Structure 1
Amino acid sequence: MSGAANPWAPRRFWTQATVVDAAGGFGVALDDRPLRTPGRAALVVPVRALAQAVADEWAAQDGTVRPDTMPVTRAVNAAIDRVAPDPEPLIDGIAAYGESDLLCHRAPGPAGLVARQAAAWDPLLAWAERDLGARLVPVQGVMPAAQPPESLSALRAAVARLDAFALTGLSEVVSLSGSVVIGLAVALEHRPAAELWDIAHLDEIWQTEQWGSDAAAEAARALRGAAFQRAADLLAMLR
């Protein structure tokens, strides 16, 4: 039954969740027991703020452990167990968004939407060219167009400079926005995350302004927006 407690969920056995110094960074201890990932690796992160966020999630558990209420812990586990041992596939997957980046696909009309896209998206493409060395070419429509290989290489290089924890957050931001440029703008603190989320959903916002809101669509976008902000917060902790 929906909402029923899971009888197999682990129960809280600790009194306190605290940040502790660890080799290579910071860990979390449940009382005197160091926290480990599902893969049995030591849970060690590079900055205290991230360890504190993990500890706060464990401290907030009441009765049974609910992983769905622990997004930071899940992200850290993924970074340690899945990304860190072999980051190249994730780097490639993130960088591949440059081949069909949201910011490059422009509406043929109406004129108001075309102008809104240009005003919001062109400055981000200019930033990517200036600061990342990645010149991407806008096209009309949804069909991908070949982008300069040197630009795609520059985007991949920018992604590859991030560690496993930042890659985990970046992957979420990019997949939710459809844009590696927007993702890197979040990771490199080029623009506020909330502003970049709206930029990524400019088309949906435009449609709402023209035709009114749809409650289900608005609720779905709010859920995605919350996930986007959580990933952006993780990236901010690492800076």
Structure 2
Amino acid sequence: MSGWTVIRFWKAVTVAQEEGGYAVLLDARSVRTPSKAPLLMPSRAMAEAVAAEWAAVEDKVDPRLMPITRRVNAAIDKVAVQFDEVAQLVADYGGSDLLCYRAEAPEALVAAQAEAWDPLLDWAAEAYGTRLKVTRGVAPVAQPTEALARLADEVRATTQFQLTALYDLVGLSGSLILGLAATRAEFDAESLWAFSRIDEDWQAGQWGEDEEASANAALKRMDFLQAHHFWELSSASPE
């Protein structure tokens, strides 16, 4: 089934290993993507997570309640067919990385950014053998060509499923370094998300919470954590 306008008709949801990966079956019918491609996944863990989403459907399929299925669809229908373009979009964040643009004042905010962001830039320098430059204010800073090239190589080394997750991790946080850190087991996804929100949280602390902004931030946080989970599924062993 391709699926997004489907009313539930199935009784059983199962996972089956097929040629090329793992599939989800609704009774005996294989789930397909919106573009009618086979919904084949690289690991049983991912397929079981997708199966759980389909099993939870009560009446009509709602993509908003199926974040893993939605990302699998994107990986197959979109990322796989334009991998180089997507990888470049992600890698380009290195040239304007959030962590490299610091406040000029007040000093308390400057200190908060440094405390959270400097260790991440230190980690990236050690992990990738090159360091991004930091500036204060919004004036663009030219990053070393070698640094950007090494970070781009890291992005291109992903699979189509991993890149789908990384696209969201980087886009939501505004930082290639934060996104890459989220793919490493030594970092906590919740903490990384909080690091991406230092400026917004500071402003809220000074001027008060905006209800609409807070609601949007909560949705983005959930999306970031779901993308992190999808990365973990994308990197799981096949069995």
TM-score by length of 1: 0.93
1:166 paired to 2:158: no
Give matches, 1:42-57, under 5 Å. Answer: 42-57=38-53
SS at match of 1:87: helix
1:235 paired to 2:216: no
Give matches, 1:41-190, under 5 Å. Answer: 41-190=37-186
Q: CA deviation at 1:171?
A: 0.5
1:198 paired to 2:194: yes
Q: Which runs of 5+ in 2 are unaligned?
A: none
SS at match of 1:144: coil
Q: CA deviation at 1:203?
A: 1.0
Q: CA deviation at 1:144?
A: 2.0
62-71 vs 112-121, greater mean Cα deviation: 62-71
Contact 1:79–1:168 (CA<8 Å) still a contact in 2?
A: yes
Residue 10 of structure 2: aligned partner = 14
Residue identity in the other structure for 1:146: A
1: CA distance, partners of 2:5 / 2:28: 22
Q: CA deviation at 1:54?
A: 0.8
Contact 1:103–1:121 (CA<8 Å) still a contact in 2?
A: yes
Q: CA deviation at 1:15?
A: 0.7
2: CA distance, partners of 1:41 / 1:55: 17
SS at match of 1:84: helix
SS at match of 1:18: strand
Residue identity in the other structure for 1:100: S
2: CA distance, partners of 1:179 / 1:21: 37
Contact 1:134–1:155 (CA<8 Å) still a contact in 2?
A: no
SS at match of 1:147: coil
2: CA distance, partners of 1:23 / 1:134: 41
1: CA distance, partners of 2:62 / 2:45: 22
2: CA distance, partners of 1:156 / 1:233: 22
Q: CA deviation at 1:192?
A: 0.7
Residue identity in the other structure for 2:151: L
Q: Percent identity?
A: 47
2: CA distance, partners of 1:190 / 1:206: 26
Residue identity in the other structure for 2:14: T
SS at match of 1:44: coil
Q: CA deviation at 1:133?
A: 2.3
Residue identity in the other structure for 1:167: L
Q: CA deviation at 1:141?
A: 1.2
88-97 vs 76-85, greater mean Cα deviation: 76-85
1:37 paired to 2:33: yes
1: CA distance, partners of 2:143 / 2:165: 25
Aligned length: 232
1: CA distance, partners of 2:47 / 2:63: 16
1: CA distance, partners of 2:212 / 2:7: 35
Q: CA deviation at 1:183?
A: 0.4
Residue 3 of structure 1: aligned partner = none
1: CA distance, partners of 2:208 / 2:131: 36
Residue identity in the other structure for 1:71: P
SS at match of 2:35: coil
